[in-house]
Chains A and B, each alone.
Chain A
Amino acid sequence: MSDRTNDVSNRSLSNLDLETPEKPYLDSNELVINMGPQHPATHGVLRVILKLDGEKVLGTECVIGYLHRGVEKIAENRTYTMFNPYVDRMDYVAAVSNGLGYCEAVEKLMNVEAPPRAKYIRVILTELNRIASHQLWLGTHALDIGAMTPLFYTFRDREEILKIFEKYCGARLTTHAFRIGGCQYETYAGFEKDIKNFLAFFPPKIDEYETLLTTNRIWLERTKNVGVISGADCIALGVTGPVLRASGVKWDLRKAQPYAAYSEFDFEIPTGENGDTFDRYMVRMIEMRQSLRIIEQAVNGLPEGPIMGKVPKVIKPPVGEIYHSIEAPKGELGYFIVSDGSTQPYRLRVRPPSFVNLQALDVMVRGLLVADVVAVIGTLDIVLGEVDR
């Protein structure tokens, strides 16, 4: 792992210091090193400046913005419909969730609602995407920590979800699955069968992941009591999603302020106790099982009917503003839209969960080792496309 190379350079540097006693920084072992932006364990282009004492982290500073594309500026220069595919490019791992949040926000602004069938299809695809997002998180997070097998397992099984997406809308990753007012596509022939096959196929796979990790001594050593954050700190820092729940705060927007059709389904919100990396792992594992539960209820109760609501061809919301947020796989994803009555948003603000959660990195890694920084970045489950927008 790369931290080993950092370690070597640290050692050689401090040895140098010992041989030149005039240097004023001899007394302290403080060292500032740079991690990233081109670093495999930072999941994209995140640069972290680490202040170290030996291998202990004294403080960090994140340098972000390498992927900044000005999504909010683009939104002001596109119509509501044209901007829809752009939101998929923020959290590209969970593109369906982004689309759901955006479409619902615009619908709310226009005071229209998607028909029940569209809502159910939305829930099914969004929950599938939550599983896909957690699978990608698990694979890469375990790889960072040194367990290589889960990556192959999760990517193998994620393929089944991507195949359903591809069959439904033609795209695997940036799906653009929903439209303002509902869904563009009716489900394909065999959709329900595919979903039901997946429901039978996937639970044993979660068990498989768990046999690899949950009782694995190395995994426990690397995750227990690593990156601990309290529930109060999470709230103060605005951290949401599985990270908040692993710290013992039972809060999920799907329950707290239900959107789409979530109020009609029965599911649990898993919480952790210690707020460490292991608890966050467990919370996400249980969330995958709960997502399956939601999908099962949705596919069994899938109502008949139209899939598009009464939405004009030209989307022109009345003057006003709206904030709408959903529970994305990474936390609260919100859209704040100001309309001036034209076909383009006057201002569109995205409240990205990854960006806000990343702010907690500094609190979580202080006092840990460099190798744990990698574990904590993994457990925060950030997507730099969303951090930088």
Chain B
Amino acid sequence: MAEEVKSPAPPPPPEGEKKPAAEKPAAAAALVAPAKPAAPAKPAGPVPLPWTSPLVEKYRSQYGSGLDPQTYLGQNYLSVDRSLIPDLLRLLRDEEQFNYCVDITAVHYPKREKQFDVVWILYSFPRNERVRVKTQIADGASLPSSVSIWPTANWLEREVYDMFGIQFDGHPDLKRILLPDGWTGYPLRKDYGILQQDKEWVQINLGIESGQ
């Protein structure tokens, strides 16, 4: 019995590894091809693997160690040093045709020294390929706005500011978007409780003791 259970178990990982190939058709074949031989080496379970591709090689030689390219479950991402962000995002659009900024968001790790991961999810229409760019910044530090690169970043950056309190330098109109202007606190930080609210704002503006 135990063997029978075991034998169907291994197939899923290779199936999962196949995904990148199925996902990224011919246009991206060149990029996926180098990742393939590395994939079967880790049948135990999905772990982030180094991501190699012409794109990565190019920026690696340019920026050196500030760039950590990885691939996980067939999705590629670049962990980038904060200082490289403005240049790299622009180059990704201008040179690598990542012309569509799908989303900008952040993740809060309160125990880390650099508390925030900021994530740009990019897509290229010509290449039919996605890439994520991640960087770490400390609480209170700011990032350059990418509104001049992708106009769609306007509201996305406003939402990140609204929810995490991350400043974007050069944003044309950085203010809260979903919460009211006078609200204090940034709800998606881990230290903000799920029932927490700006009581003062609620009492003044809604005339009630609590919004809950």
Q: Which residues of A contact B (CB under 8 A)?
A: 64-65, 68, 70, 72-74, 76-77, 108-109, 111-113, 235-239, 249, 251, 256-257, 310, 318, 320-323, 325, 332, 334, 336, 338, 346-347, 349, 351, 355-356, 359, 388-389
Contacts and interface: CB of A to CB of B under 8 A. Distances in A.
A346 B107 contact: yes
A191 B101 CA distance: 41
B23 A257 contact: yes
9 contacts: A65-B177, A65-B179, A72-B163, A72-B188, A73-B188, A111-B45, A323-B103, A349-B103, A359-B152
Given A249-B125, A257-B23, A355-B155, 15 more contacts: A70-B187, A70-B194, A113-B15, A235-B99, A238-B156, A320-B72, A322-B73, A323-B103, A334-B121, A336-B119, A346-B107, A351-B102, A351-B103, A359-B154, A388-B178
Interface residues of B, number: 42
Most buried by A among B45, B99, B177: B177
A64 B192 CA distance: 22
A349 B105 contact: yes
Contact of A64 (B101, B163, B178): B178
B118 to A, nearest CB: 12
A336 B99 contact: no
Top 4 nearest A-B pairs (CB, nearest first) are A238-B152, A65-B178, A111-B16, A351-B103
Given A111-B46, A318-B45, A347-B107, A238 B101 contact: yes
Interface of B: 12-13, 15-16, 19, 23, 45-46, 48, 72-73, 75, 99-103, 105, 107-108, 119, 121, 125, 128, 130, 132, 150-152, 154-156, 163, 176-180, 187-188, 192, 194
Contacts of A322: 72-73, 75
A320 B155 contact: no
A256 B128 contact: yes
Contacts of A68: 178-179
A318 B15 CA distance: 17
B13 A111 contact: yes
Contacts of B150: 236, 238
Contact of A323 (B15, B107, B121): B121
Contacts of A257: 23, 128
Contacts of B163: 72
Q: Is the interface of A mostly helix, strand, loop or mixed?
A: mixed
B72 A235 contact: no
Contact of A356 (B16, B48, B152): B152
Contacts of B179: 65, 68
A108 B156 CA distance: 25
Contact of B102 (A108, A112, A332): A332
A73 B191 CA distance: 12
Contacts of B15: 113
Contact of B180 (A65, A111, A351): A65
A332 B19 CA distance: 20
A83 to B, nearest CB: 13
Contacts of B178: 64-65, 68, 388-389
Contacts of A346: 107
A109 B154 CA distance: 29
B12 A112 contact: yes
A337 B178 CA distance: 21
Contact of B125 (A73, A109, A251): A251
Contacts of A351: 102-103, 121
Contact of B187 (A73, A238, A349): A73
Contacts of B75: 322-323
B194 A237 contact: no
A269 to B, nearest CB: 14
B46 A320 contact: yes
Contacts of B45: 111, 318
B103 A108 contact: no
Contacts of B180: 65
Nearest to A256: B128
